[in-house]
Chains A and B, each alone.
Chain A
Amino acid sequence: MSFVLIVEQILNGLQLGVTLFLMSAGLTLIFGVMGLINLAHGSLYMVGAFAAAAVAGAFGSFILALIAALAAAAIAGAIVEISILRRLYRRDHLDQVLATFALILIFSEGTRWVFGSFPLYLDIPNYLQGPVMLPGGIQYPLYRITLIILGVLVAIFLGLLISKTRIGIKIRAGENDREMIAALGVDISKLYTMVFALGAALAGLAGALVGAIQSVEVGMGEPVLILAFVVIVIGGIGSIKGAMVGSILVGLTDTLGGVFLPKILQLFIDISTATNVGSSIASMAIYILMGAILIWRPTGLYGSRL
């Protein structure tokens, strides 16, 4: 087990963490501010990836593709919020889950209808291709480093937005007491649409960034959605800081668990059983982490105390 491998895996964990953060930040904001469980968040991730693939295919520019992903997901989010979800804020969570689950099916089949059933092509641009040499002789893909930096920048931007700006004040106020801020003359439905579109845009950005190194296909959002829910439960629902810490924790646990558990088990049992048992336990690792954190802090790391 070399030093280089360990550092590389930690970087991989961080990179998974920041991409999860882009997904979970929107999810946690929407849940925190509007009290809405949005299962269709993964579909917005898919919308972003498909929009990026379509624009990259037509114009060949990755930057344009990212802008298209942000815009398409934000617009799709705003339309869905205004036309459907707005009616669900006062209903209980089961109704919301049912309606947003229906949205997943509509988005998936709609996307298939427009783009067909085969995966689309979206690749990283030439200037981000290939590996770079990091200090200590570590070879690491340039694109993944860019992802980490970009994720951190988005986190800083969101942090400043929430803590320093007027919109941020309204969002925080909305989380605490929505009747009161409506009474103070804030147009609450406009605020909701905006928060939803912001969350959707972040999901779309994540979809486009990740789509370039994975596959752009129908149903790509759902596995990420599950991880994002784990993240916001760990971090505390409604907290951006919680989403950041939760994402990094989940990213590191998932990556390092998958690599090192089988290796550790190999010290005790034979290789093929160790590989089997190790990878099975590794896929449970984040849920074990979630369980442990919930026992210690039932509302998550940064959730409001009951």
Chain B
Amino acid sequence: MKSLLNVSVGIITAAFLTMGSASADIKVGMITTLSGGGAGLGIDVRDGFMLAIKQSGRSDINVVIEDDQRKPDVAVKLADKMIQSEKVDVLTGIIWSNLAMAVVPSATAQGKFYLSPNAGPSVLAGKGCHENYFNVAWQNDNIHEAAGAYADGAGYKKTFILAPNYPAGKDALVGFKRYFKGQIAGEIYTKLGQTDYAAEIAQIRAAGADSVFFFLPGGMGIAFLKQYSGSGVDLPIVGPAFSFDQGILQAVGEAALGVVNTSQWNKDLDNPTNAAFVKSFKAEYGRLPSLYASQGFDTANLLISAVAKADVNNTDAFRAALKSADFDSTRGDFSFSSNHHPIQSIYAREVIKEGDIYTNKTISVALENHSNFYTQDCKM
């Protein structure tokens, strides 16, 4: 009997030992928006991310996914839970800048890594930057800066600009103006979540502008474009990709045709990683990927490349592995700037109709190998 006990103790010990040796297992906590308005973005990020994990064939990356309902307080609670009881090593997934601001500083202060697949508020790129925070999407201003550069290059002289009255909206207009050298015909901050733009469109009509730049993510953009196209104002529009992603375009329909928007990614970018990604995403989920899906996919691939190089418990080595960005991005060339934000090209795309589906076609490079404005504010 005693020997039996000894044997079983031995087996159990052995089992623990094997578990111990598999401690290279890495636990990833994904907090993203899966319900309520804006769930489409979180679902795309999650699907892109999980597609990359699946394709890597690695079983040592465990992903815990939770829904933040687009509420900062929920996101903070989930982050606490993931760090304290789930003991995750890496956090990711947050879509919205206000949620990122609520979660990221405390997570990185507790020694966790955070990989942002979307939100890139200016504070986290500048004064609030952290060595364990990596943004794989863009700094918030980037896409708008590219829109400004495009509008400038297209010869527009007098642009009317509008965005919602919240931090990312202000970043957007500041970013646009940083690269647009013409005159601003008018500047409006709308209410966040506003869905009727008749009053703004009337002001655009009265302003004597030659073009319009708008940043209205999600449903706000759908409403604006539909109302704009019915208003009889026919000035050309320029916008960031957020109002023209694959999920939204079908709801906007014809009103979006021909609009130029700026994005760091498009499904027709000519590189083998991207072609394979678009094909496999479509096969797996039965729909075309959006830029959010590509960001989720790239975030996961960055993580996988770092896991292959270093143990997550060796923080310095793991950070260096992340920093080297040694993975094939769907965007082609990709590297990190000194404040851990992407250096990448941003393209101008035009909305076209392919068969029955509205989608985007890349027409030119708006900003080549673009970094961000806040590098000098970041001391890490």
Chain A residues packing against B (C-beta within 8 Å): 2, 4-5, 8-9, 12, 15-16, 108-109, 112, 117-121, 123-124, 129-131, 139, 141-144, 210, 212-220, 223, 255, 258-259, 262, 271-272, 275-276, 279-280, 282-283
Contacts and interface: CB of A to CB of B under 8 A. Distances in A.
Contact of A8 (B188, B202, B248, B255): B202
A68 B232 CA distance: 30
Contacts of B250: 118, 121
Given A8-B202, A124-B230, A259-B199, A112 B219 contact: no
B253 A118 contact: no
A216 B252 CA distance: 10
A298 to B, nearest CB: 28
Contacts of A108: 35-36
A282 B189 CA distance: 11
A285 to B, nearest CB: 11
B10 interface: no
Given A112-B35, A255-B198, A279-B189, A117 B40 contact: yes
Contact of B219 (A121, A214, A271): A214
A212 B279 CA distance: 33
Contacts of B35: 108-109, 112
Contacts of B165: 276, 279-280, 283
B248 A119 contact: yes
A215 B219 contact: yes
A248 to B, nearest CB: 15
Interface stretch (B87-95, B220-228, B296-304): B220-228
B144 to A, nearest CB: 17
11 contacts: A4-B206, A5-B202, A117-B39, A117-B43, A120-B251, A121-B250, A121-B252, A142-B230, A212-B226, A215-B218, A279-B190
A215 B253 contact: no
Nearest to B225: A215
Chain A binding surface, main DSSP class: helix
A9 B206 CA distance: 11
Interface SS of B by simple majority: helix
Contact of A2 (B36, B43, B193, B206): B206
Contact of B223 (A120, A215, A258): A215
B202 A214 contact: no
B231 interface: yes
Contact of B199 (A12, A120, A271, A272): A12
Contacts of B62: none
A177 B189 CA distance: 48
B73 interface: no
A129 B222 CA distance: 16
B167 interface: no
Interface in B169-213: 187-191, 193, 195-196, 198-199, 202-203, 205-206
A218 B199 contact: no
Contacts of B111: none
Interface residues of B, number: 39
A92 to B, nearest CB: 27
Contacts of B48: none
Contacts of B247: 118-119
Contacts of A216: 251
A102 to B, nearest CB: 15
Nearest to A142: B230
A218 B36 contact: yes
A130 B230 contact: yes
Interface in B1-50: 35-37, 39-40, 43
Given A117-B39, A217-B219, A271-B187, A255 B199 contact: yes
A273 B202 CA distance: 22
B196 to A, nearest CB: 6
Contacts of B187: 271-272, 275
Nearest to A139: B232
Contacts of B232: 130-131, 139, 141
Q: Which 10 A-B pairs have the closest CB atoms?
A: A131-B232, A215-B222, A119-B251, A215-B219, A214-B223, A12-B198, A219-B37, A117-B39, A214-B195, A8-B202
Interface in B86-138: none
B178 to A, nearest CB: 15
Nearest to A218: B37
B148 to A, nearest CB: 17
Nearest to A129: B230
Interface string B300-338: 000000000000000000000000000000000000000
A4 B208 CA distance: 14
Nearest to A116: B40
Given A118-B250, A212-B226, A275-B189, 18 more contacts: A12-B196, A108-B36, A117-B43, A118-B248, A119-B251, A120-B251, A121-B252, A141-B230, A213-B223, A214-B196, A214-B219, A214-B222, A215-B219, A223-B195, A258-B190, A258-B191, A272-B187, A282-B191
A112 B39 contact: yes
Given A123-B226, A219-B37, A271-B187, A118 B199 contact: no
Given A121-B251, A130-B232, A218-B39, A144 B198 contact: yes
B199 A258 contact: yes
A141 B251 contact: no
Contacts of A15: 198
B230 A131 contact: yes
Contacts of B202: 5, 8-9, 12, 259
B191 A283 contact: yes
A299 to B, nearest CB: 29
Interface string B242-258: 00000110111111000
A247 B328 CA distance: 56
A4 B206 CA distance: 9
B188 A279 contact: yes
A141 B40 CA distance: 31
A118 B255 CA distance: 17
Contacts of A262: 188
B231 A214 contact: no
